[in-house]
Structure 1
Amino acid sequence: MLKCSYVVLIFNNENNIQKLVHSLQSIVGNFRREFIFIDDGSTDNSLKILKQSIATLPKTTIISQQNIGPALSLNKAINLVDGDYVHFVQGFEILQPESTIKLINCCETMTASVAIGRSSTSFSETKSSNRPSYIQVRTCPIKEILEHSPQASRNVGLSASLVRLKLLEQINGADDLVYNCNMSLSLRCAQYSKFAFIDEVISITENITKSEAQLMFETYNNLRAILNFVQTNPEFCQSYKSSLLLALSNELKTIQAKCSYYLKYLLSKWFNNANLEQIINYYEQELAKLL
């Protein structure tokens, strides 16, 4: 029988812990399960409420630590799990009862090691279970990740994603030199697996508005993850030079006034004849500006 390991990252989620745990208790499907919670330095009552809420969950581990960020926390959890699949969960969401089995079936049916569903801020968007699920497979998702199309292609390690443990071990987890995990996990997984997207709401999340500073930090993390990936996989990335330039331009558009005329000029000039060293240098320059 297949086994799924749930990796749940908690950070100041005291208002949602009980609802989250209840949703985990309500998960259905013919598979074994284990739960690993990582409280990443919460300063509220998250840890206390979590300890009080998990009594009925099977095989549960809680890790309490000072804040080190999602990437290092996730890698720590990956070293502890022993399931066939890892279902990633965040402390501010709740899962649909059939979420995991739908993602597992998606991987098994499509012979993929990564399955990604949809997150929603409303229960009203969830589909009726008697409607067929639409599954789309991307056989070479690197280009889509870099060009941000679709958005879900970057969501490995975030809400509504599930990955085979063997693949996570093969890629050695997320880039631990980057605070956030989703971009580096998505890129690393895309080297070795196709991505299966299922048109189903897997998780319900809070509607979070990001500040300018948070957007800048997110942009920095994404660019740093891409840069690190290119530097460690230059031969693999040779055929994605145009997409790398587009990724640089599109990321900087999220920061007001950052996407300069000069960048657009370089993008048009280099689109067909840029070399990888030039692109790496420009990534480094833009990262320095963000600091």
Structure 2
Amino acid sequence: MGSAVLSGLVTYPGSDYQGFGFYEPPQPKRDRRRLIVVIAAVALVVALGAVVTVVLLNQETSGTPVVQSDPVAPSSTTTTSRPKVEDGQTMANPDAKLTYDVPKSWALSNSTASFALTSLPEVKIDHLAIRAPYQCGGKDYTRGVVGSGTVSGGEINQRVTDLAKAFGKELYDGGTGTDVVVGTPQAITRKGDKGEEAKGVAVRATVTTKGEQCLATKGDLWIVLLDYAGGMRMLVVNGDLVGGPDTPAPVPADELAAIAESARPTG
């Protein structure tokens, strides 16, 4: 984060806190789920190829044009029951009706500590978890923050995109040349520990800055929105990936992804 202030907690980067961004993780472990998706995609391509071949043969033999319908696009919805966070601890936010897991290396704050957006003053997160706070250049920083809250409704894809831009800018407030690139929102379905189910979207953003000795040059940001129990439930996951001091080290990208994937409805 740049000059962001966490109410009830230590201020961040200047308070300069450093946030999220896309990453280039060092030699990540192979993801079996990704492998399954690739295999399924290959199978789909092969199947579509077979259909095209049959259609062409039919046209050649009958001489009658055949109208082809466009293939149905695969669903982007993913269902998650309980993603595993290595050596994790569970955080529950009863007000936001949201539960999520963070590694034990993250320090849990009291429930009153919060971070509010300046550009969207009605938006704030609490029930925070903090990764590796440190001081540099006379300012307080941290390598990561996770928090949750409730936001007003709207078109969900636009809403999650706007939130990602706002959090990306303000979590890295104080940095120069800060740029936030937001990915495409993905539809998700999440299941709670007691069978609750909620649909929503998740989006990942990359935050980059020109950086300096104390501030990260690249960070990872995840925003998860779940439409549940008459409200929009939000999880924000942020961590530095590149830049800043050698110690403490940046946050592994797969750790941030696992936290984001653990968001689930409660109550």
Q: Which TM-score bucket, shorter chain as reference? A: under 0.3
TM-score when normalising by structure 1: 0.23
Structure with higher strand content: 2
Structure with higher helix content: 1
